Amino acid sequence: MSKMIRVLAAVLVLGLALAACGGGDSDGFSDEIRDQFMSGCVPGVGEEFCDCALDELEKVYTEDEFMQVGLEAFTSDSDDVPDEVMAAVLACVDKIPSG
């Protein structure tokens, strides 16, 4: 796996971890969770990439699952990135601003 893809995955995992600190419901991602994810993601790779990645993650996770993945990322010593997170990175990599 390329270094750039691993860095992008790490940024998304940071966003997931921050989102896990918020509350949740089972009817889709709340504005609070979306805002927390974006606040952790945007500074690293930009809003367009993070919007895209969050949309991709919403396709495969309920909010509760999303928060669990974030909590596991936050508390784990592993560098492993869930397949769904990697898929979101790969689907949105073209949204990263150049330069």
Condensed to tens digits (0 to 9), the pLDDT of residues 19-77 reads 655 554 445 588 888 888 888 888 888 999 999 989 999 999 888 888 888 777 777 77
Whether 16 has a pLDDT exceeding 80, the answer reads no
Closest by Cα among 64, 59, 53 to 19? 64
Q: What is the pLDDT of residue 26?
A: 47
What's the start-to-end Cα distance of the chain, in Å? 22
For position 80, what pLDDT does the model report? 78
User: How many Å apart are CA 37 and CA 14, to the nearest integer?
Assistant: 8
pLDDT of residue 14: 63
* pLDDT the model gives residue 48: 94
**pTM of this structure:** 0.74
Q: Which two tokens stand for residue 35?
A: 């805002």
